[in-house]
Amino acid sequence: MKRKHILAIVIILILALIIYKLATNKKKINEKNTPVKQTDIRIPVKVTDVTEQQLEISLIKTGSVTPFKEAKVLSATSGIIRELRFNLGDHVSEGQILAVMDSRALQLDLQKSESNVKRLKNDLNTYTELLEGKAATQEKVNTVRQDYIDAVSQSGQYRKQLSDASVKAPTSGIIATKPVEQGVFVNAAADIGTIVNLTKVKIEVTVTENEVYQIVQGQDVKISVDAYPGKNFTGKVTFISPQADETHSYTVEITATNNEQTLLRSGTFVYTDFSKKTTQNILLIPREALTESTKDASVYVVQNNVVRKRAITTGAEMKGMIQVTKGLNKGEIVVTSGQINLKEGTPVSVSK
């Protein structure tokens, strides 16, 4: 009987130990599964205020001078150049005779043609009178009339060729090239000289996508050149390319008046200054505040120590700052450093 009591006690103790172990393990499992209470973690960022200031565009580009007008002097007919009435560097006027082709054969052909016209005109008058007296046929009169018309047309062609034998200047300017000499034979449309008009000059410059929106048609441009230190020329923007090239650059053309005392020659390297001040106030933020490119620009705005991502539209870029044309207001706070760790609604700790 005594042994039975001892055995029962042992069994009770073992069961109690098992129950205790199970309860302890369950507590540990429950503690593991209970979510750990997170402390308030804030991402450190640097920020700056959206500022407003007066727009001052500073834009200097380089370019080269080209003539306002440049024209080839071409022979209208083939033949020998009997007279060449210009030399390199000569100033010529539009319509001035620059060369005379040998036209003696043409003059003989014209004389023969005019004699033929006179004879056929008399024949036409004679046969017309005979037709009225029924001494000639209408067919014969028509034939003579057509011959007369053809002869008049041929005489006109000879006169035109004689006129073309005098080669005239197509524009006013300076003789820049003279590839032929007097006495040589040239074909029709041969190049016998080049005239460059430098009373005005054109300057072409290439600008970027951001820069082209800072330039307007008719804007005054200050021009300087190393050949005339301390002297400035004034030009106006006369053309802005409406379409970018394959490098996303735009061509801008400037026209400037030239003068004999300080002549800007074709091909000269010049500096063009588009800089200007305006009364327009613009919003500016640092370039590093952007989270994307200027085409898909966005920034993180801090509101009550939480960031909100906002899309913006940008404009001109100057000295590390970029213009904001849409999406921000003056005085708002934008993140300038630490954006890589941020997303919409992230709490932040702010430093400037």
More confident: 352 or 349: 349
pLDDT value at residue 40? 62
Share of the chain above pLDDT 90, in %: 46
Say whether 103-164 and 45-56+280-351 share the same fold.
Answer: no
Q: How far apart are CA 218 and CA 211, in angstroms?
A: 16
pLDDT value at residue 203? 95
The residue among 245, 198, 262 whose CA lies nearest residue 65 is 198
> Is residue 269's pLDDT more than 70?
yes
- Domains of the chain, residue spans: 45-56+280-351, 60-67+191-278, 103-164
> Is residue 90's pLDDT more than 60?
yes
Distance in Å from the first CA to the final CA of the chain: 87
pLDDT value at residue 295? 77
pLDDT value at residue 261? 79
Check whether domain 45-56+280-351 has CATH 2.40.420.20, yes or no = yes
More confident: 260 or 146: 146
Pairing of strands 333-337, 321-326: unpaired
> Is residue 118's pLDDT more than 90?
yes
> Is residue 199's pLDDT more than 70?
yes
The pair phi, psi for residue 219, each rounded to 5°, is -65, 140
- Fold annotation for 103-164: Helix Hairpins (1.10.287)
pLDDT digits (tens, 9 = 90+) for 238-249: 999 999 999 889
> Is residue 34's pLDDT more than 60?
no
In which band, very low, low, confident or very high, does the pLDDT at 55 lie, cut at 50, 70 and 90? low
3-state secondary structure of 270: strand
pTM of the model: 0.53
In which band, very low, low, confident or very high, does the pLDDT at 99 lie, cut at 50, 70 and 90? very high
CATH number of 60-67+191-278: 2.40.30.170
